[in-house]
Amino acid sequence: MTAKGTFDTAGWDAKPSFDDRDGVALGLVSMTKTFHGDLIGTSVVQLMVASTPVEESRAYVALERVEGTLEGREGSFVVAHQAMSDRGEQSLTVTVVPDSGTGELTGLRGGMTITVAPDGSHSYTLDYELRAGG
């Protein structure tokens, strides 16, 4: 199954770097999202970010708990992010954490694609399955 829509971000809260040496900094950021479309809900995201002296080279890993309704099914689930920018060449993997689904989303598996439009707006595509019995 495939769910699509948009999301808004808010509350970008960057903490001071916990490790900053030789121009490479490691830091923590928290933020929230509001989802629209086939997924209606909110999430809280905790990111660990690495920045380098080369502005286009950086990375983040994150965990995000999403709560809401996915195509009429209510519950929550967690996704794990792994993102890399290598001098501007970007990659992003967002995967549903197995067995993190609750309520009517128990058994959720899948992956999410996030797209950022030139105007800065965000959209998602969630390819997923719901396994019977979790």
The residue among 127, 114, 117, 132 whose CA lies nearest residue 33 is 114
Question: Alpha carbon of 72 to those of 8, 57, 60, 93, 99: distances in Å?
Answer: 20, 39, 31, 25, 19
One pLDDT digit (tens) per residue for the chain, 134 residues: 999 999 999 999 999 999 999 999 999 999 999 999 999 999 999 999 999 999 999 999 999 999 999 999 999 999 999 999 999 899 999 999 999 999 999 999 999 999 999 999 999 999 999 997 66
Rg (CA), the chain: 16
First-to-last C-alpha distance (Å) of the chain: 16
Token pair 């997924």: residue: 39
